[in-house]
A and B are shown apart, each in its own frame.
Chain A
């Protein structure tokens, strides 16, 4: 089944006016007013050994910080959050709370959907701190130890901050121009609106002792071995630099783009200069797929399909994310696997998908005879990201299951080199990366505090 007439891809910049773009990329979930926050905080039962805390990778003392909002102890509230999670502001905005703290809120057992709005309250407290209180932590006496943190995303930032608190000096190296990692370049713009990622980095760095060195790429500009020589310890938080291929014909043709780079472009440029197709097909079932699809719509794409090869239950995007895509006018199609990119004379026309079902053995079955084509001016691939081991090849750092292998102290197999965040195994969540960075920093600090440290 070929398109009758060849399509000329309609992918242009500036589909929407500046005002429409500003509104589309403004804060998706505006903050609570203080009065709203107090009412919400007063609903909290102040559980003991609270299930919400158990569900938080950074184990923020949630009842304590909420109680403090109710009593108008905003400084204490923010401090409670930030001492567990220095990126509490970003996590309040990007965490899938519906599968973390809020899912476990005991209010949901009383009545479904009535969880305390923990994320919104956390934002309220951390916003207060950034607006009124500044950096709440101070540094311990200088130790004279220097640590290289590679990657200025959530894991690297959290690690750097905690190390700085302990009195160490940190060089924070990153291949990008700006620090922030996925918060700056990866997350949907409306989740971290108003340049929040940079504001949070500034807030975090205000502790002192952290020097950001951008446009320094591991493997290109330096090696781990060099760092190990120049610094007392190294923390690798390089994330996932690779993207999976779909493995279909014509995947390289113009108009077929990695969703990750589409979002990065969108995050680093004026929205008026970001091209988007009239018809966009996003392939994948994770948060990156949702972020790409919704942002494509908000840039002015008319028809956006999000196509995933399996069902709702298997999607890694949460039901809240899926519904967000749907309310933004994204059509979600399930049980369809890409077979080929449809092109004519090397020009993108669309994507052909095979329909699939769940087989009796639990494996998915696709029928190549039962396929359909979705027309597209632009195809965004969001079928997964991978760790690229090339920059650490030649070191004694073991990789297992495609990620850097670490022990319970985040120590790699190379002495004095630690790692955390997405480049190591575990949930690929901002909040998990923050925990990794924080706990790795504590491990590094313990190591450096030993008499024979180095």
Chain B
């Protein structure tokens, strides 16, 4: 059995699956249920200064796709709307009752040294394992110069991180916003400020949809809507890229990454770990199906790691990073060609029309013995994979790598006016 125990920036948990700072971790009641279900840790929903914020009614919008619910979720809820003392008391009791689980407290107070200096000892007193600085919340709080408004300015990230390191002995995780052009800048700033780790991605600024009867963005609050934070399966590719960028950056080497953004299965989890994360945070999937989903995440990850001989999380973390390169390092001589398994083909024609209308006219159509037959024209196929992606039958269209002779990348390519001499 693979060892799923995790030590992340000194914080121990029995498995890498934590619940992200969000509605599911707002109260002791939920967090206890999560721990009972098997979650390795939680990041308690963000605490702020009293008096607490006020949340609106109607808070989520959903992106459904072809019958599947919650491909994406958009949320306009702010940080915890409960008094600070209530949260602190509950955190203290929960940590006492579940000493083997990671309890991290998310924080967001104004960008003033005194505010941070004041709240940190209160959190430390609960016995929590660490803090996560919410520099990511892209809606509402950012209008009050907190959340993403801080995360988007590397100098602020560095400054606040430094204050936190100065006023607490707890590990400091800096949560980064994806609403930025280059994720490396705030990550470097966090590191300069002394961060023990980073976590990402927070939600993506979004308008999930428009109510065409009310003519207002959704969710509609009293006739009006506002932008929210986007999460769920749809944001996973954005998260993987940003995590990978940090993991492979030479100046950020060794900075632990808690990965999140659309993790809904053990396979997603394995991918985040492969791209450099060493702990994982989940939210939307739990909000969709309840805490029980962690069972299959643990079970599936563990089983797969056994199959692939990964003994523990550190041996898996970052395994894909050496092969995550810039485009210019890809071999232009590599070629792969689509192959259609005629026995598996059901004749839907989707490969043909996709290639014919939008790609390289490399799939022919003929009518033979009363049925449509689709065949790849090898000479025309550029190996783009589109046909394989639109085919509704698993493994009907496979990509067949062709023999490659040598390597030629763009920097050396004859067509490159700025090529480097061989």
Contacts and interface: CB of A to CB of B under 8 A. Distances in A.
A70 B66 CA distance: 8
Given A42-B66, A45-B392, A51 B350 contact: no
A110 B346 contact: yes
A107 B392 CA distance: 10
B349 A47 contact: yes
Interface string B35-49: 000000000000000
A48 B66 CA distance: 18
Interface of A: 38-39, 42-43, 45-51, 70, 106-107, 109-110
Per CB-CB distance, the 7 closest pairs between chain A and chain B, nearest first, are A48-B349, A48-B353, A42-B67, A106-B346, A109-B346, A47-B348, A106-B348
In terms of DSSP, what is the predominant structure of the interface of chain A? helix
Contacts of B346: 106-107, 109-110
B2 to A, nearest CB: 35
B327 to A, nearest CB: 32
B144 interface: no
Contacts, number: 37
B352 A48 contact: yes
Interface residues of B, number: 14
Contacts of A43: 67
B209 to A, nearest CB: 14
B287 interface: no
B70 to A, nearest CB: 15
Contacts of A47: 347-350
Contacts of B67: 38-39, 42-43
A273 to B, nearest CB: 48
Contacts of A106: 346-348
Contacts of A107: 346
A56 to B, nearest CB: 15
Contacts of B66: 42, 70
Contacts of B349: 47-50
9 contacts: A39-B67, A42-B67, A46-B350, A47-B347, A48-B350, A51-B372, A106-B346, A109-B346, A109-B347
Contacts of A51: 347, 371-372
B393 interface: yes
Contacts of B372: 49, 51
Nearest to B370: A54
B365 interface: yes
B412 to A, nearest CB: 41
A107 B393 CA distance: 10
Contacts of A42: 66-67
A49 B366 CA distance: 11
Contacts of A39: 67
A45 B396 CA distance: 15
Contacts of A50: 348-349
A69 to B, nearest CB: 12
B350 A45 contact: yes
A34 to B, nearest CB: 14
A42 B64 CA distance: 12
Nearest to A51: B347
B299 to A, nearest CB: 28
Nearest to B391: A45
A106 B347 CA distance: 7
Interface string B43-84: 000000000000000000000001100000000000000000
Given A47-B348, A47-B349, A106-B347, 16 more contacts: A42-B67, A45-B348, A45-B392, A46-B350, A48-B348, A48-B352, A48-B353, A50-B348, A51-B347, A51-B372, A106-B346, A106-B348, A107-B346, A109-B346, A110-B392, A110-B393
A45 B393 CA distance: 11
A352 B93 CA distance: 89
B371 A49 contact: no
Interface in B347-383: 347-350, 352-353, 365, 371-372
Nearest to A38: B67
B367 to A, nearest CB: 9
A35 to B, nearest CB: 11
Contacts of B348: 45, 47-48, 50, 106
Given A106-B347, A106-B348, A49 B365 contact: yes
A46 B354 CA distance: 12
Contacts of B350: 45-48
A106 B351 CA distance: 14
A118 to B, nearest CB: 15
Nearest to A109: B346
Nearest to B371: A51
B392 to A, nearest CB: 5
A39 B352 CA distance: 26
Contacts of A48: 348-350, 352-353
Interface centre among B348, B349, B392, by most A CB within 10 Å?
Answer: B348
A46 B349 CA distance: 9
A267 B393 CA distance: 46
Contacts of B365: 49
Interface centre among A38, A49, A70, by most B CB within 10 Å?
Answer: A49
Nearest to B349: A48
B248 to A, nearest CB: 39
B153 to A, nearest CB: 43
Nearest to A107: B346
A109 B347 CA distance: 9
Interface centre among B346, B350, B392, by most A CB within 10 Å?
Answer: B346
